[in-house]
Amino acid sequence: MPWTENGFEVFAGLTALGSQRTQPLTAEGLAVFDAPSPWPQAPKLLLVADLDSDGEFETDFSPYLLRAEVDEGRARALDAFRTRSALFTLDNEDSRFAPRNTGSPYSPNIKHGRKVRHGVQMQMRTVRNLSENPSAEFDIEGNVATGGATIVRDPEGFIDDFDSDTSGLYTEVGGPSRWTFNPSESRLETTASGVASQLFRDSLSLTDVVMEVECDTSGFALDMVLRYVDTLNFYRLELYDVDSGNPTRPSLVLTRMLAGAATQIGGFTIPAWAVGMRHRIRYSLVGSTHKIYWDDELVLTATDATVAGPGQVGFGVTAVGGGQINWVEVTDPAAAMARARHGTASLKVTPAAADDSGVVHTKRDGTRFAVAPGVSYAAQVSVVATGEVPLSLDIAWYDSASALISTDTISFVPGTGADWTEISLIATAPNNAAFAQLAVLVDADVYLGGHDFWCDGWALYDSPYVEPYCDGDQAGSTWLPFGTGPIAPHTGSQSYRVQNPTMIKFTGAMREFGFLRGPSPKEFNMTCTGSMEKFVNSPLIAGAYIGTSSIPLKPKHVLDRLMDLLEQGEVITDTGARVWGGGWTGVSASVSQASGVIYAHGDEFYNFMDVWLWNPNDAGSGAQLDVTSLAAAGKRFRFAVFLGVRQIGGFTPPFDYDVKVQLRDSNGVVASTIVTLPSEANYGGGPFVYAEIEGTFSDGAANRYVEILADGAAWSDGNNNAFKFLCYHLAPWSSHNQRSVRGTLWESANVVYLSGYNRSGQLMLEELLKSTGAWAFEDGDGNFIAEDFTTRWPNKRAFTRLSDVLDGLGYSTDGYNESATGFYNLIRVGSHGDLDIQPRGSRLVWSAEGAIVIAPNARRVLRVPFYADGEGVFIPNLIGISYIRTAGSLVADSLMGSVNTPYVLAYGDTCEIVFVAGASGATITNLALTSGSLGADSVGSLREATETVYLEYDARASADEEPRVLPLAMPAQGYKTEMMDLLAHWVGTKYAKGPAELDVTISGNTLTKMLETIFREPGDTVWLKHMTGQGAFFLDSLFFIEGVKFSFSPGGVPTVVWHVEEA
């Protein structure tokens, strides 16, 4: 049913005489009921523009917006995303949007390139769900059986991502304690050595079980333990990464413990498992069959039923082991088909044949919900049963001494099959109420039993309104902070939806204009595109970025650096290898330019700024750069920098010390941030941490500074300390390229080699993304979102449930498709191979023939590519320059901090030689470049860039299966790296099966569906069910949204088409 712009309901077929509260019929024969509908109301469209290009959206086009359509997506996860685009139709009755109308209030500023922002605002109330476990997606904590009932999660098991402290749900066997729950890092950790120990999930005993973990460090060794009957009888899968110290490792070892005797019943040697690289290991034990999967590939099968079970499920660690678990899911594969209203799991209740038998719902720790006396609350839950069961939804009120005051109740009979019944109850807390609890109980004097029922979507809202279901994963909602830790995204936290939530659907620039004639002569069409397209024509000179196995280079750091360099209008862009020290001064410290002279590197390497803090040094010592002449007062700027620990004789490395990066002017500190230095260092190289701040310098301030200062008491350690910084960058905020990353590889993978000389910024980004197994798209705010393929692993949870019956949101689809180009069973991942480090010693790498003449006062730049014998590319380390000046003079280069010329700007396999001549010009002969100067341990390295090195993964079910080859490129990787193997496994296991693709349409004809329609974006997860009716697809599985097309007009019903691909 449509709505008017003000939220009025429109009824078809209602005559003008049918009610005194009507308006005349519309041309379509509709009458408008002139009283606002209570809820839902029509969403409000927003469209604002930045016509003066000052970075602020101050011009409001919303009153004139007639239609909006936003589109972004791709066909499948192997493709690149299309640039986000939008088509806006505006009312142009008075020609105010005609670009050539000089009388327009927007003349002459409506033109190509002007920025616009489009959003949609929901008209609704604030709501907070006090239930900390609304759904059973992770576990059923906070639910207690009563009256003889039994409860289980359906399917039995649990999920733990360790985002909150769940230590109370586990019991350790052995010890002293080896296990640490670390919510700040979202992982379960073990100490490196001690007494062998095991950790089991409470109240879970299974015979058949599937356990899957994500693990990036296992050491020697971390165990997955199944059917743990007692300390002498169980099965374990031992995990060994590359740090295990055994030549046969890394590996997986399957062991049976029977009467205390260990017997190996299977094993598999993993090709590679570097510490920090996250993998998925799944152990399936059904009957006597043991199956082990490595990144979804079946690698080990064994048969043994000696330990019959049932038994506990958990983890183990050896006396000398150590490691960490990042995620775990345990499921009973023999459970009946799970039922769910939201997501994929729910609470199953088997009541006794008695009145008041059922389940009580509280907070996760078992305590009741805190309530305020005299305040009205709304309770809500969805219920389905196997047969007719008389039930009631109860709110029980308690005083501060936990004495029962009274109970409010509503009786109902739930639906069956997939016909979920959503029950609500609004009640006011008594005057002396302090706590409340919910319950779903049998409501009959005589009940014979024999039926089960399921509960999902618990809610206790702190408002007297029945609201659409709200948990922190629902569209438009968030999880509230829990305790003093991080945001608890799934457990131990309440959910919150703000009043009138707004979703920004598009931020980009005007491109093409058009005016319609004929049926709608007064409409103005404006086509806009997102910001990513600007990178195509933005050339970069960047690199060399080099990482090794001992000093890996994080892809996140390279992305940050490239995005910094792609900002327009920067006032400082130091380039690491070309660092200039002009202007930097010490603050109770010494600041100087330095070079790393061994083959150890991280970001743009070799040269950096040294900061030496002499004892007694303390907080406030460091480096300062005066930017008064570069940064205008009253303007907003952004500063970014990489920092690391300096290891040098006579200085104590400040590992894990804090550093403050700040903008300051003569009126005080404008903005500051504190970062922690790395816990390790390498001479001249990484690791590094990245810091960025933004702030507005005060109007009228006489001086403006950038400062990098020691912070905290740790610096007063009685020693000399040193740190370093490089790749610093200062630019106006209006040109900032905002970005974020998603996935597990940005901090753990390695970029072996990436550089570019006057290359398109988009090509540089694409090379980095491909080499990280990643892709990028824009969000509605215009932010650059980079995801690696771990965001598409099939163990993700569904945020939205679509169903062709009543256990989810309704949708429509035209068909199911398995693309002929979507079947691949032989994956070839190519790169240019490793860097071949050359022997130490000096080497002539380039020389010029004849004389080079520089005109008077001219700046001349020579571009020099390096080539090795054959077809390889030579990447020198430190470069020395030699020459003879036969006439004239050379002067300092004011563009680079007044450094003397000539000097060399090194970009990996390319460099620039810069000359600036004096008033009489200059003539140069015998110009040559050498590598390995200044005592460098190596001259440089070679890379065979003309041949592609392939890592091949065979996903065929048998050797007779016809090969369907998919070539993929990871150009910045080395020779058959673990990253290449991980990508190949993911692609092979996903596309060998031919994942389904569908276009599903959701019409926002209810408030719940409007939230899902407006707020979902690419990458969100969907559980899609299509099991009934003629021509059913028989889909009941997880999908990822890969494309979104959103359409809406004021007063209409918002619709969205999601292009989804099976996980």
Listed in order, strand segments (DSSP E) in 907-996 are 910-931, 940-943, 949-954, 965-969
Quickly state the pLDDT bin for 934 (edges 50, 70, 90).
Answer: low
Residue 634 pLDDT:
94
Pair of tokens at residue 160: 């733990």
Largest CA distance in the chain: 112
b or e along 284-312 (b: 16 or more beta carbons within 10 Å of the residue's beta carbon)?
bbeeeebbbbbbbbebbebebeebebebb
Tell me the C-alpha distance between 802 and 1002, whole Å: 9
Lowest mean pLDDT among 369-373, 400-404, 1004-1008: 1004-1008
Q: Which of 578, 671, 504, 695 is nearest to 118 (CA)?
A: 504
Segment 156-187, tens digit of pLDDT: 999 999 988 899 999 999 877 889 999 888 99
Overall average pLDDT of the 901-930 stretch: 92
Average model confidence (pLDDT) across the chain: 88
Asked if residues 522 and 495 have their Cβ atoms less than 8 Å apart, the reply is no
Could you give the count of Cα atoms lying within 13 Å of 286 in the half-sphere of its Cβ? 11
Residue 647 pLDDT:
84
The residues near 514 (Cβ < 8 Å, ≥ 6 apart) are 524, 525, 526, 527
Fold of 127-152+338-497: Jelly Rolls (2.60.120)
41 three-state secondary structure: coil
Instruction: Give 3-state DSSP helix, strand, coil % of the chain, rounded to 5.
Output: 5, 45, 45
Residue 917 has pLDDT above 90, yes or no: yes
Tell me the C-alpha distance between 1016 and 1012, whole Å: 6
Return the percentage of the chain with pLDDT > 90, whole number.
Answer: 64
**For the chain, which residues make up each domain, given as ranges?**
1-37, 50-123+505-533, 127-152+338-497, 156-331, 536-778, 792-824+958-1062, 836-943
Segment 409-434, tens digit of pLDDT: 999 999 998 899 999 999 999 999 99
Give me the amino acid identity at 846. Answer: W
Asked if residues 733 and 663 have their Cβ atoms less than 8 Å apart, the reply is no
Quickly state the pLDDT bin for 742 (edges 50, 70, 90).
Answer: very high
Residue 691 pLDDT:
97
53 three-state secondary structure: coil
Quickly state the pLDDT bin for 595 (edges 50, 70, 90).
Answer: low
CB atoms near residue 920 (< 10 Å): 10
Q: Which of 271, 487, 118 is nearest to 953 (CA)?
A: 271
Give 180-187's long-range contacts (Cβ < 8 A, gap of 24+).
183/485, 183/486, 183/488, 184/485, 184/486, 186/161, 186/162, 186/326, 187/162, 187/324, 187/325, 187/326
Residue 897 pLDDT:
67
| Segment of 37-41, 594-598, 739-743 carrying the highest mean pLDDT | 739-743
Tell me the C-alpha distance between 384 and 406, whole Å: 27
Q: What is the DSSP string of 164-216?
A: S--GGGEEEEESS--EEEEGGGTEEEE-SSSS-EEEEETT--BSSEEEEEEES
Residue 573 has pLDDT above 80, yes or no: no
Domains 127-152+338-497 and 536-778 share a fold: yes
Overall average pLDDT of the 1001-1010 stretch: 91
Residue 24 has pLDDT above 60, yes or no: no
Residue 606 has pLDDT above 90, yes or no: no
Residue 486 pLDDT:
38
Quickly state the pLDDT bin for 568 (edges 50, 70, 90).
Answer: confident
Segment 510-566, tens digit of pLDDT: 998 887 665 666 889 999 999 888 887 888 888 888 888 777 889 999 999 999 999
Fold of 156-331: Jelly Rolls (2.60.120)
> 761-771 and 555-565 helices cross at what angle (nearest 10)?
170
Overall average pLDDT of the 785-807 stretch: 94
Return the percentage of the chain with pLDDT > 70, whole number.
Answer: 90
Q: What are the beta bridge partners of residue 660?
A: 674, 709
Quickly state the pLDDT bin for 441 (edges 50, 70, 90).
Answer: very high
Residue 484 has pLDDT above 60, yes or no: no
Residue 7 pLDDT:
40
Quickly state the pLDDT bin for 21 (edges 50, 70, 90).
Answer: very low
Residue 461 has pLDDT above 80, yes or no: yes
Residue 604 pLDDT:
38
Tell me the C-alpha distance between 304 and 259, whole Å: 15
**For residues 209, 214, 220 and 224, what is the CA-based torsion angle, rounded to 10 degrees?**
-10
Query: CATH says 536-778 is which class?
Result: mainly beta
Segment 125-146, tens digit of pLDDT: 899 999 999 999 999 999 999 9
Residue 34 has pLDDT above 90, yes or no: no
Quickly state the pLDDT bin for 33 (edges 50, 70, 90).
Answer: very low
Tell me the C-alpha distance between 321 and 240, whole Å: 9
Quickly state the pLDDT bin for 19 (edges 50, 70, 90).
Answer: very low
Matching residue, tokens 């002017």: 665
Residue 15 pLDDT:
36
Tell me the C-alpha distance between 569 and 490, whole Å: 42
Phi-psi region of 857 (alpha: psi -120 to 50; beta: other; left: phi over 0): left
| Segment of 93-107, 319-333, 489-503, 775-789 carrying the highest mean pLDDT | 775-789
Q: Which of 288, 249, 293, 242 is nearest to 265 (CA)?
A: 288
Question: 391 vs 414, 437, 440, 443, 1058, CA distance in Å?
Answer: 8, 16, 7, 5, 38
Residue 177 pLDDT:
82
b or e along 1015-1027 (b: 16 or more beta carbons within 10 Å of the residue's beta carbon)?
bbbbbbbbbbbbe
Question: What is the length of the chain?
Answer: 1063
Quickly state the pLDDT bin for 490 (edges 50, 70, 90).
Answer: low
Write down the pTM of the prediction: 0.90
Residue 652 pLDDT:
93
